[in-house]
Structure 1
Amino acid sequence: MLDIAEELNRWVEQGRDFAVATVVAVGGSAPRQPGAALAVDSDGTAIGSVSGGCVEGAVYELCQQALEDGGSVLERFGYSDEDAFAVGLTCGGIIDILVTPVRADSAARPVLGAALAAAASGEAAAVARITSGPAELVGRALLVRADTDTEGGYEGGLGGHPELDRTVAGEARALLDAGRTGTVEIGEDGSRCGQPLTVLVESSVPPPRMIVFGAIDFASALVKIGAFLGYRVTVCDARPVFATAARFPDADEIVVEWPHKYLERTEVDARTVLCVLTHDAKFDVPLLELALRLPVAYVGAMGSRRTHEDRNKRLREVGLTELELARLRSPIGLDLGARTPEETALSIAAEIVANRRGGSGVSLTGAHTPIHHDGSRRPAGRIGSVA
């Protein structure tokens, strides 16, 4: 649901009634992951997607029905061998979708509205919703913010045992800290035993950072694709004549400073990617000496294999270990045969995505690897159902 927070927040501000269908669990080769959503308002306007087209029509009808009767429903969609014309996923996967009405009089509207406003404004927040369990609890929600003074650390409630809210809030905060969306199973009384409830926790965190060092033509193309992938992109170069807004209109930030000095003072985290395109030892060595010791997601450096060997020699001389050097992706990018700045940017972006999602980088044709996989994501838990 939070993946379409900006549009839904506008609907809330306009006072619209709507229903939102959210993927809560997947099995096999499903096109969308938990958290993906489609919403339909009382006028029939639809936004978002839960399957890339396979079951959108059926989900649209479920949303309209939820708006009429005011009840939440959990529906499973899968491939049917018996009936080729049945509504299902042609990819062979299974998805469970929770449909929740968000009408002006619904109990969940205040907390869902607050969650949408937080996500739309870029605030780190997580919303937890019961997806399976007693019918009267399904669709109930609570909100956890990264920085909150709210008593108990959450807003809203799940309507069950008092301990349930506290336990779910703790689970939601853990997933929020990791920037992940997933499901957890908890007993109705908030314990790890007893009749289980399944809870979907959707996390919304500020976009990850991409810092591109070196204001060259290749950087311009990389900035564009980095923005397209959802990164907040910074370009850093010590040369003011090259690091200009006119040359990098797609960058969120342009910094004129020695690269290693900027990296020393700026904020990075486990999702940050660092792309070193300067291929000049006086910039690269002090920068990479620092970068390879930071807890970031990716460090890549441009240059020929000869440049790479020379750079590694210099980095060993300043004290980097073989384990630290092994973190460096150099020459940067996947082997696509790239030549132009745009092709090279695609090569770099492909390596970043493969590193982030746990992909191999090999062609899917003839490969026996999953099409959709994410090395950073733990299993989403069992697929449940509403009686």
Structure 2
Amino acid sequence: MLDLLPHLGTWRPAASGQRCAVATVVGTAGSVPRPLGTSMLVSEAGEVLGSLSGGCVEGAVVEAALEALRDGGTRREFFGYSADDAFAAGLTCGGGLEIHIEPLGTGPGRLRLETLYALAGRPPAGGAALIRRVDAGGGGAVVVPDPAAFQVLQSAGLAALLGAGSTGAGPVMLAAAAQLEPLLRGGRTGLVRIAPAGECLPEPVSLLVESRLPAARLLIFGANDFGAALVPAAKLLGFHVTVCDARPAFAQQDRFSAADEVATAWPHRYLADQARAGRTDARTAICVLTHDPKFDVPLLQAALRLDVAYVGAMGSRRSHRGRIDALRQAGVADEDLARLHSPIGLDLGAVTPGEVAVSIAAELVASRSKAAGLAQGSVSLKDASGPIHHYAATHQNSSLHASDHHDSNLHASDHHDNSAGMPEPQEAQWT
């Protein structure tokens, strides 16, 4: 549901006061196109906002939503693949979706359109969560304006949603706190089932939790071509992006205007200031693209001592080995060095700044989902060996192509490694 909020204000049926129903994925089985919590709004005229399956079951869901609007009741529908009925609504991918359908209303125990408008009006940078009751025995929702600090045991709204009577450490509220708070504070979506002791219910109380924390920060150090390409890619992933470079002539270029912040400062000093101010946390990602030891070594020394989600650094394998030696000499422990993603990015064969940005973005996604190495058989470059660019390995004479995409800070030693002065293709990389 939270994904629909940015579009709610411009959706004509809601703005014109039409009655609407919300259909939400509350259960999945096997391969499905959309995850738990995905929602779609259906107006009484059959207009739709959002999608649950990319088209496989939408028609049938619209019909069920219109029926719910006519009779005022909630319902659950299951859609799976049917090999026996070619015309049945189902998922061709073979998975299954359980859909909860509820009319929006103003009565007790109803999810209200005003509730969604209130959520949609919150500042984009702020976090928010929505807890909805989606079992057959109840309905309604609770808006959580600050998921990271929410205390279940102190919430009268949640106690009413659960039918617990009052706040406090009762068994229902304790069970809710144990399951809800990790989802809320982690910014995740999940379905929580609570079976109150001593009560005979047809099914447990089911709560769908959707939590969004303020955007995680990505700190890009290096105002160069690669940094400029990474900014829009990172924005697409939802990061709050900062570009930092010690050189004003580089940092103040218009091509970095899409970043949320641009800082002109020595990188390691800027990072230390941000950490002291509490502006880095366990979701922060740091990408070091300067490829200059005078910036890289003190910056990585500071970064690897912070509790952050990701630290990556651009550099050829040769420069990476030299950087590791320098960091060890500076006292960085081996367990901290093991956290460094260098060469940076997934092994996609990337060469151009745009391709490199995709490679880095892919590793950020894989790191965030703990799925590094599972994306189309690609592995992290830090865990691979040999040539970084497959192009360079198969085009031994293309020395111009292999070198014309380097940052201006690359040193000659990174380009050459033999007495004849000929470029070594597998080392002449952006990394």
TM class by smaller structure: 0.7 to 0.9
1:115–1:127 contact (8 Å) kept in structure 2:
no
Alignment pair present for 1:22 and 2:24: yes
* Corresponding residue number in structure 2 for 1:331: 343
**Which of 28, 33, 36 lines up with 1:34 in the alignment?**
36
**Equivalences for residues 1-387 of structure 1 within 5 A:** 1-8=1-8, 15-105=17-107, 107-109=110-112, 112-113=115-116, 116-117=119-120, 121-132=124-135, 135-137=136-138, 139-146=139-146, 147=149, 152-153=154-155, 155=157, 157-158=160-161, 160-162=163-165, 163=170, 164=172, 167-168=175-176, 171-188=179-196, 196-244=204-252, 246-266=254-274, 267-361=279-373, 364=376
Q: CA deviation at 1:113?
A: 3.0
Larger radius of gyration: 2
TM-superposed CA distance for 1:15, in Å, is 4.8
Native 8 Å contact 1:123 1:205 kept in 2: yes
- In structure 1, distance between residues paired with 2:19 and 2:229: 42
Stretch moving more, 29-38 or 113-122: 113-122
On the 8 A contact 1:63/1:101 being kept in 2, the answer is: yes
**Higher strand share goes to which structure?**
1
Q: What is the alpha-carbon distance in structure 1 between the residues aligned to residue 365 and residue 60 of structure 2?
A: 32
Counterpart-to-counterpart distance in 1, 2:365 and 2:73: 39
Q: Deviations over 1:137-161 (max 9, x none)?
A: 1x33223332579992353631623
In the TM superposition, residue 288 of structure 1 has moved relative to its aligned partner by: 0.9
Report SS of the residue matched to 1:261. helix
Letter paired with 2:245: D
Q: Specify the SS of the correspondent of 1:143.
A: strand
The gaps in structure 1 that reach 5 residues or longer are 367-387
Matched residue type, 2:127 = A
**In structure 2, how many angstroms separate the alpha carbons of the residues matched to 1:275 and 1:22?**
37
CA distance in 2, matches of 1:16, 1:258: 56
The more displaced of 38-47 and 315-324 is 38-47
Tell me the TM-score normalised to structure 2 length: 0.76
Report the CA distance shift for 1:83/1:322 in structure 2 as closer, same or farther (over 3 A).
Answer: same
Distance 1:364 1:347, change over 3 A: closer
Q: Secondary structure at the match of 2:254?
A: coil
8 A contact 2:234–2:361 mirrored in 1: yes
Q: Secondary structure of the equivalent of 2:251?
A: coil
Relative contact order higher in (CA < 8 Å, ≥ 6 apart): 1
Partner SS state of residue 241, structure 1: helix
RMSD: 2.9
The superposition leaves residues 69-126 of structure 1 with CA deviations (integer Å, 9 ceiling, x where unpaired) of 2222222111122223211111111121111211344633178337623666443232
Evaluate the alpha carbon distance shift between residue 222 and residue 185 of structure 1 in structure 2; reply closer, same or farther with a 3 A threshold: same
**Is 1:18–1:41's contact at 8 Å kept on the other side of the alignment?**
yes
Distance 2:370 2:198 in 1: 34
Greater Cα shift, 33-42 or 111-120 = 111-120
Give, as a single letter, the amino acid of the residue that structure 1 aligns with 2:269.
K
Secondary structure in 2 matching 1:307: helix
Cα displacement (A) at 1:199: 1.8
| C-alpha distance in 2 between matches for 1:211 and 1:13 | 39
Report if aligned partners of 2:82, 2:88 keep a CA contact under 8 Å in 1. yes
Residue identity in the other structure for 1:222: L
State the distance in 1 between where 2:273 and 2:37 align: 34
Report the Cα distance in structure 1 between the residues aligned to 2:331 and 2:162, rounded to whole angstroms.
57
Task: Give the TM-score normalised by structure 1.
Answer: 0.84
Q: Secondary structure at the residue paired with 1:35?
A: coil
CA distance in structure 1 between the partners assigned to 2:7 and 2:65 by the alignment? 17
Q: Given residue 17 of structure 1, which amino acid in structure 2 is its aligned partner? A: R
Give distance in 2, aligned partners of 1:175 and 1:115.
21
Q: Which residue of 2 aligns with 1:372?
A: none
- Identity over the aligned pairs, expressed in percent? 49
Moved more, 295-304 or 73-82: 73-82
- Taking the aligned partners of 1:316 and 1:261, their CA distance within structure 2 comes to 20
Q: How many residues align?
A: 362
- Matched-pair contact (CA < 8 Å) for 1:179–1:203: yes
- Aligned in 2, Cα 1:365/1:117: closer, same or farther, shift over 3 Å? closer
**Does the CA contact (< 8 Å) of 1:212 and 1:234 recur in 2?**
yes
Query: In structure 2, do the counterparts of structure 1 residues 343 and 213 end up closer, same or farther at CA, with 3 Å as the change threshold?
Result: same
1:159/1:178 Cα in 2 relative to 1: closer, same or farther (>3 Å)? closer
Aligned partners of 1:76 and 1:94 also within 8 Å: yes
AA matched with 1:262: Y
Displacement, 1:190? 10
Q: Is the 8 A contact 2:363 2:372 kept in 1?
A: no
Listed one character per residue, the Cα deviations across residues 311-346 of structure 1 (whole Å, up to 9, x for unaligned) are 111111111111100100001011222111101111
